[in-house]
Amino acid sequence: MGLRDIVKEGDRILTKKCRPVEKFDEKLASLLDDMAETLKVAEGVGLAAPQVGILRRVCIVDIGDEEGLIELVNPKIIAYSGKQSGAEGCLSCPNEYGVVERPMFVTVKAQDRHGEEFTVKGEGLKARAFCHEIDHLDGIIFKQKAERMLRPDEIEG
C-alpha cells in the first residue's frame, strides 16, 4: 500500500468523466488499497479515483460507522428519496465548504474489487458521501452544486 497525492481543484482531470472498470485485477486492488490509506491519512469520508489521478469509476466511502470502508467500483445510484441540505467540503478543495442539497436516502448498485455486484443503502451523511464521490466520477465537484459557499466565520472551528 502507498499514499497517493490528492489532485487539487484546477487540475483538468477533476472535470473529466471516468471510464468504467473492466479488469478486476491486482492493479485495481492496489488502487483501492492505496486510496484507503490516502483517505485515512487525509481524514476524509470519501475519495474518488480521479482525485488521485486515475480516470476510472472507482470510489470509497468511510463515514466512521460500523459498516466501515465501502469500496464502490462502477457505482450507479439506482434509487433516492428525501432531501437534506448541509455543509460539504472536499479533499480536492482544501478549506472550502459550501451548502449542497442532496438526497436523504440513496441506494447504490456497484461492484466490489472482485467484480461481484452488490447494492448498498445510505442515509444522511453516507447518502451525501455516496452522491459526492459518484459526482467526481462524472467530472463534477461539489462547488458546482453548492447553493452558496460558506464564509470562514460560518465554519465551525
Residues noted as catalytic: 133
Q: How far apart are the first and last CA of the chain?
A: 32
For residue 69, give the nearest of 124, 11, 112 by alpha carbon: 112
Spatial strand order of the sheet with 105-111 comes to 46-48, 58-61, 70-81, 105-111, 117-123
The alpha-helical segments, DSSP class H, found in 45-97 are: none
Q: Which residues contact 147 (CB under 8 A, 6 or more apart)?
A: 85, 98, 99, 100, 101
Q: How far apart are CA 4 and CA 34, in angstroms?
A: 7
